[in-house]
Amino acid sequence: MLVAGNWKMFKGPRETTAFLEAFEPPAGVDIVLCPPFASLAAAVGRGVPVYAQNVHWAAEGAFTGEVSAAMLLELGVEGAIVGHSERRQYFGETDATVQQRCEAALAAGLSVIACVGETDAERDAGKTEAVLRRQVAAIPRHERLVIAYEPVWAIGTGKTATPDIAQEAHVVIKELHDTRVLYGGSVKPENAAELMARPAVDGALVGGASLEPGSFAAICRAAVA
Ligand code: PGA
15 noted as active-site residue = no
Residue nearest to atom 1 of ligand 1 (CA): 207
**Tell me, what DSSP letter sits at residue 199?**
T
Give DSSP secondary structure letters for 34-87.
E--GGGHHHHTTSSS-BEES---SSSSSS-TT---HHHHHHHT--EEEES-HHH
| Pocket flag, ligand 1, residue 155 (CB < 6 Å) | yes
Tell me the C-alpha to C-alpha distance, in Å, between residue 20 and each of 4, 143, 195, 217: 14, 28, 26, 11
Question: In this structure, are residues 119 and 152 in contact, taking their beta carbons and an 8 Å threshold?
Answer: yes
* Ligand 1 contact, 6 CB (< 6 A): yes
Contact present, 205 and 171 (Cβ < 8 Å): no
Q: Which residue, judged by its Cα, is nearest atom 2 of ligand 1?
A: 207
What per-residue confidence (pLDDT) applies to 59?
96
pLDDT score of 225: 78
φ/ψ bin of 126: left (φ > 0), alpha (ψ from -120 to 50), beta (otherwise):
left
Residues of the chain with pLDDT under 50: none
How far apart CA 49 and CA 47 sit, in angstroms, is: 7
DSSP type of residue 129: H
Q: How many Å separate Cα 200 from the centre of its chain?
A: 16
Q: Is 186's C-beta closer than 6 angstroms to any atom of ligand 1?
A: yes
pLDDT for the residue 115: 98
State yes or no: is 175 an active-site residue: no
Would the pTM of this model clear 0.75, i.e. be above it? yes
pLDDT at 159: 83
* Torsion sign over Cα 73, 76, 81, 83: negative
Contact status, residue 148 vs residue 205, Cβ threshold 8 Å: yes
